[in-house]
Amino acid sequence: MYVIAGVTGNTGRVAAETLLARGEKVRVVVRDPAKGQAFADKGAEVAVADLSDAAALTNAFRGAKGAYVLVPPNFVVTDFAAYQDGISDAIAQAVAAAKVPHVVLLSSVGADVPAGTGPIAGLYRAEAKLSNIPGTVATFIRAGYFVENLGGSLGALAHGILPTFFAADFPVTMIATQDIGELAATLLIEGASQTSAVQLGGTATGGTTYEDVADAIGRITGKRPQVVVNPVSAMSDALQGFGVPKTMADLYQEMTTAMLNGTITHQPGLRTIPMKTSVETVLRGLLSA
Ligand SMILES: NC(=O)c1ccc[n+]([C@@H]2O[C@H](COP(=O)([O-])OP(=O)(O)OC[C@H]3O[C@@H](n4cnc5c(N)ncnc54)[C@H](OP(=O)(O)O)[C@@H]3O)[C@@H](O)[C@H]2O)c1
């Protein structure tokens, strides 16, 4: 039986549904029992636990062959790094206490770097904790930039523009969350004999630029937006203007800067899985929502 966290979100939902469709036993972890009903209807067990509650998570993990976990976003807390550490501490404690043999963590490209990468540094620390549990092996999905993040820029299409803090011709290693969820399910079924990381995202040409995104939007809507590049130094203030707490906004600016200067980049030599779902496919969904 596999335990899946984050099933009301992008990747956990796909992981759980993929496993159920393949005939595997699944236990979903939800905070609100009502949100587990759709999975119970498909034959899954439902455990109620907050990812920051080690005792409840231990119960949720008991008897699992493998577990899929993530450190969810949180746009309310004022100290995001402390929030991330609270979640990864609880997950690591619960994995150890429940003796889960295999844990798959949704991590990120750049999680090989200890600091200076914004929120990704919290995933570096989460990987470290899960790497040191006797009797447990971990697989880290070092995912690229979610294509779904583009949803935050689509509001400006009404004005004919696609805003970004990346240079218009900067190749961003993007990945659809559908691909991540499917990979998580596959990795759980495969199992693992040693702790390792898998890189996920990118294309044969190395990435997707915002000009590529504008082209795709043009093909879908018939109206190609103009890419408008904002300086990355203005990112924190802009996000705070949308209500994002300052510490989080600063971390996003740090992450984007680290992507632009090459601190966050794919590592040569790691197993790398290219994207299956195209940027255009995800954009079609976002634009029709
Ligand atoms: N965005 C990117 O470009 C990117 C790139 C690489 C890696 N990542 C990683 O991917 C993560 C997001 O993954 P995602 O898109 O699959 O998530 P998501 O769609 O944002 O969903 C988050 C899930 O976690 C659950 N959750 C939130 N807080 C919880 C808590 N305290 N206890 C239990 N469950 C909780 C939510 O359930 P509720 O229904 O209860 O809210 C929801 O199911 C990021 O946090 C980051 O670590 C992101």
Percentage of the chain exceeding pLDDT 90: 92
Tell me how far the alpha carbon of residue 50 lies from the centroid of ligand 1, in angstroms: 12
- Contact 124/112 with Cβ under 8 angstroms? yes
**Ligand 1 atom, smallest distance to 107 CA:** 7
In the CATH scheme, what is the homologous superfamily, with its name and number, of domain 2-143+175-202+265-276?
NAD(P)-binding Rossmann-like Domain (3.40.50.720)
Tell me how far the alpha carbon of residue 71 lies from the centroid of ligand 1, in angstroms: 6
The answer to whether the predicted template modeling score (pTM) of the entire model surpasses 0.95 is yes
The tokens for 241 are 């203007």
What is the structure's pLDDT at 267? Answer: 87
**Ligand 1 atom, smallest distance to 11 CA:** 16
Ligand 1 pocket, residues with Cβ under 6 angstroms: 5-12, 31-32, 35, 50-52, 70-73, 106, 108, 123, 143, 145-146, 149, 177
The tokens for 206 are 């190395």
Q: How far apart are CA 260 and CA 255, in angstroms?
A: 9
3-state secondary structure the chain: CEEEECCCCHHHHHHHHHHHHCCCCEEEEECCHHHHHHHHCCCCEEEECCCCCHHHHHHHHCCCCEEEECCCCCCCCCCHHHHHHHHHHHHHHHHHHCCCCEEEEEEECCCCCCCCCCCHHHHHHHHHHHCCCCCCEEEEEEECEEHHHHHHHHHHHHHCEEEECCCCCCCECEECHHHHHHHHHHHHHHCCCCCEEEEECCCCCCCECHHHHHHHHHHHHCCCCEEEECCHHHHHHHHHHCCCCHHHHHHHHHHHHHHHCCCCCCCCCCEEECCCCCHHHHHHHHHHC
Question: What are the CA-CA distances from residue 199 to residues 130, 134, 271 (Å)?
Answer: 17, 24, 6
Phi then psi dihedrals of residue 59, to 5 deg = -60, -40
Which of 32, 106, 178, 199 should be mutated for ligand 1, with most atoms under 8 A from CB?
A: 106
Q: Is it the case that residue 246 has pLDDT exceeding 60?
A: yes
What is the structure's pLDDT at 203? Answer: 61
Phi then psi dihedrals of residue 102, to 5 deg = -140, 125
Question: What are the CA-CA distances from residue 115 to residues 19, 258, 268, 276 (Å)?
Answer: 35, 10, 20, 30
- Banded pLDDT at 201 (limits 50, 70, 90): confident
The average pLDDT across 185-209 equals 88
What is the structure's pLDDT at 202? Answer: 66
> At what angle are helices 210-221 and 279-288 packed, to 10 degrees?
50
The total of other beta-carbon atoms located within 10 Å of residue 21's CB is: 10
CA atoms within 13 A on the CB side of 70: 25
What is the structure's pLDDT at 275? Answer: 87
The mean pLDDT of the chain is 95
- Banded pLDDT at 266 (limits 50, 70, 90): confident
Rg, C-alpha atoms of the chain = 19
**Ligand 1 atom, smallest distance to 123 CA:** 47
The average pLDDT across 25-50 equals 97
Tell me how far the alpha carbon of residue 177 lies from the centroid of ligand 1, in angstroms: 11
pLDDT tens across 125-165, in order? Answer: 999 999 999 999 999 999 999 999 999 999 999 999 999 99
What is the structure's pLDDT at 204? Answer: 54
What is the structure's pLDDT at 269? Answer: 86
pLDDT tens across 221-244, in order? Answer: 999 999 999 999 999 999 999 999
